[in-house]
Amino acid sequence: MDHLAGLYAAIGARDGDALAALLAPDVDWPEAVTGGRVVGRDAVRAYWARQWVELRFSLHPRLMRERPDGRVEVLVDQVVQDADGDLLSESVVLHLLTLTDGLVPRLVTRLDVADPGL
């Protein structure tokens, strides 16, 4: 699960290359702002590059656990600010990640969840 800490660190550091290195080539990633999805490392890198221009993200994993099916649940404290540092949202989100050979091929996000008691 240390691998997943690197994923959140890369997002926080605005390091698209480090993030892409942790993703499967055909990764399926949520596009949280529009509600769609992007597919592929380059698409995810481009998605985050756009987000980092307009927004500041602080994602701090609170709890992680592996599910019996092998996926990993991550309860994340998420703070989103605009480019000027004004608070836009503060919430707890649940990320459900699939890992294959140490890379993330899929991430699903559930927004505004109550602490599910992980």
Please provide the average confidence, as pLDDT, over all residues in the chain. Answer: 90
Residues 7-27: tens digit of each pLDDT:
999 999 999 999 999 999 999
Residues 49-86: tens digit of each pLDDT:
999 998 998 999 999 999 999 899 999 999 999 999 99
Instruction: Give residue 35's region: left, alpha or beta (phi > 0; psi -120 to 50).
Output: left
Task: Name the amino acid, one letter, at 105.
Answer: P
pLDDT of residue 4: 87
Structural tokens at position 18: 């480090």
Confidence tier at 118 by pLDDT (50, 70, 90): very low
81, 87 Cβ separation under 8 angstroms: yes
Q: What is the mean pLDDT of residues 20-37?
A: 92
pLDDT of residue 2: 72
Per-domain residue ranges of the chain? 2-110
- pTM for the model: 0.85
Q: How many CA atoms lie within 13 A of 107 on its CB side?
A: 27
Question: Would you identify the CATH topology of the domain 2-110?
Answer: Nuclear Transport Factor 2; Chain: A, (3.10.450)
